[in-house]
Structure 1
């Protein structure tokens, strides 16, 4: 029975260590906190059911990243691989930002613009950027997670950042 307790404690450790990172990654793919949490819960259920056959530690992290990435991708695919239409992002001339309510609205609009621009980036480029910027992973871990070379990761991150920048330059994005 002690091995079951050790397994439960190990699962708890993995859950508490990786859940916040996984939610960030899935959120950047789906744009929805509730969907992100649901998909991460699904990934951990799958991990829990197979925990005896799966590795622990960083390898568990890589396995979970692949699972949530696939779950999120399939979720988005069901909604339509490419969104048919994006809301137009209209900007008013910038005014005095001393009004906190207005500042909050501008920040929300900017976050929405970044999310929309991120969703326009091709999936393979978007994934490495999400893992790098929002998953706070290094190139080596991203390469291991996606099973590609570290050099390929660096190229994809560079291209994704460039595309994101181009999409954002088309609109006037407020940066607080």
Structure 2
């Protein structure tokens, strides 16, 4: 057969579109991901996500390279998911360990915190100071504070929210970076021009 005949045969061969190639291999991709993740649901999620994310790239990949390229995409997606889940699991384990070993502040520390908050509350609007003292220092339920102040529970909740926001600003203004980093040795001497509050 001449060279011209071979080129006519090649022209008659219809090459499937990259999307069709991927769809034909759907089950193989799913099995591959299931082996990597150990979960059919995770495999289905990863495969669907990969199809959606990479569909627009298919036109730039040669037909004969679509399947190997997509296997690399899937492998990388599975690795990324594994890393994310590992980081989440480590974070949860660290939090659980912290909660298991956490102790309530001592009575002296609790008193010191309450005194500091009480001093700073005096710098707030009177209705905010009242809300902070009643709910956060005296540990009165919000509903009880609402009744005592002659407010509806929702109005009391809004007032407490605004009071806490104002107090937070005052703590940062007074204690500086101490407040941001949770320093326990806070003398609160920077409020009101360096004098004690």
Normalised by the size of structure 2, how large is the TM-score?
0.34
Bigger RCO (CA 8 Å, 6+ sep) = 1
Asked which structure has the greater CA Rg, the reply is 2
